[in-house]
Amino acid sequence: MNSAWSGPAAPDADGIAFLKGHGTENDFVILPDPDGLLDLSAAAVARLCDRRAGIGGDGVLRVVRSAAHPEAAALAGEAAWFMDYRNGDGSVAEMCGNGVRVFARYLERIGAAGPGEVAVATRAGIRRVRVAPPAAGGAPGEVTVGMGRATLPGGEVNVTVGARTWPSHHVNMGNPHAVTFVDDLSHAGPLLDAPAVDAGDAYPDGVNVEFVVRRGPRHVALRVHERGSGETRSCGTGACAVMVAAARRDGVDPSVTGEPATYTVDVPGGRLVITEHPDGTVEMTGPAVIVAEGFIDPAWLRG
């Protein structure tokens, strides 16, 4: 592999290195910047994520050594790498479940992680990721992420699309989610614009909204509007929030039963398997794929 992928991200003769990857079709531009040299403005992120004039993506994963980033330096003793995640509109986000799987796949690609566990620093704390060995035929193994504990802040939340309004479940997975159970996923509409959420001041920085239908026992499907990105093909933290809300709706609470609960969650871009353990920790398993690599023209990125 070209050494540019693990070296400084400052422009060289070829430009700024990037890769493109996705997890259940939630896609990201990956920017290797181990020494934190890249000045990444919100406008630059939006240009990169533009699907017509840029590379295209739901967000940007900047790969920085924890010790080189002021937000992660205190975590450097536990996790060597920090996932600086930005939404497609350039806004900063706490976490991205699909993104952290793709992030771990990149670390595997450059030899910074192998099959087994790697710790990744995020704005929502340390996330421990297990990369499975390659599957039969050499296909990349799936990636499992320890997503932390869900919190259920409670309070009345209502989501409205057109003439329909539903009560929703407020679930926090390090970022906020309004989980809405509906009769048909088409009722969510085109989701080009954010659904109206009536929750008082519960979401000062916006909220991700999931629309959910039941497919069978411990099996659900969703559509999601992510704050700062619009409707996406998948949302990892959203799938975890949905699993917890669905389990509680089914009367299942692992902290009470003492047994893990596992749900299959179908997203438009594929399938994720979510398990909540008796201690409240949530794990997510799914694919992560790197599909391309190249160089960005620095002059274009500056606009």
The two structure tokens encoding residue 300: 């274009």
For 44, the 3-state DSSP assignment is helix
Answer yes or no: is 286 a known binding residue: no
Answer yes or no: is 175 a known binding residue: yes
The two structure tokens encoding residue 257: 């039963």
Tell me the longest C-alpha to C-alpha distance in the chain: 59
Answer yes or no: is 26 a known binding residue: yes
Query: Rounded to the nearest 10 degrees, how much is the dihedral formed by the CA atoms of 41, 43, 49, 53?
Result: -140
Query: Rounded to the nearest 10 degrees, how much is the dihedral formed by the CA atoms of 226, 230, 236, 239?
Result: 70
Angstrom distances, CA of residue 49 to CA of 56, 164, 229: 4, 32, 10
Residue with tokens 């398997």: 273
Answer yes or no: is 154 a known binding residue: no
Instruction: Tell me, yes or no, if 96 is annotated catalytic.
Output: yes
| Dihedral pair phi/psi, residue 106, rounded to 5° | -65, -45
Mapping DSSP onto H, E and C, the string for 108-128 reads: HHCCCCCCEEEEEEECCEEEE
CB atoms within 10 A of CB 289: 16
Residues facing residue 128 across a β-bridge: 119
Instruction: Tell me, yes or no, if 240 is annotated catalytic.
Output: no
Given a contact cutoff of 8 angstroms between Cβ atoms, the answer to whether 180 and 159 are in contact is: yes
Catalytic entry in 235, 244, 282, 296: 235
For residue 98, give the H/E element and its range. helix 97-109
Answer yes or no: is 158 a known binding residue: no
**Strand residue runs (E) in 173-257:** 176-181, 196-198, 208-216, 219-226, 230-232
Given a contact cutoff of 8 angstroms between Cβ atoms, the answer to whether 134 and 141 are in contact is: yes
Catalytic entry in 93, 96, 121, 244: 96
Residue with tokens 């009536």: 198
Answer yes or no: is 293 a known binding residue: no
Which residues are tagged catalytic? 96, 235
Residues in the annotated binding site: 26, 87, 97-98, 175, 208, 226-227, 236-237
Residues contributing to the annotated binding site for substrate: 26, 87, 97-98, 175, 208, 226-227, 236-237
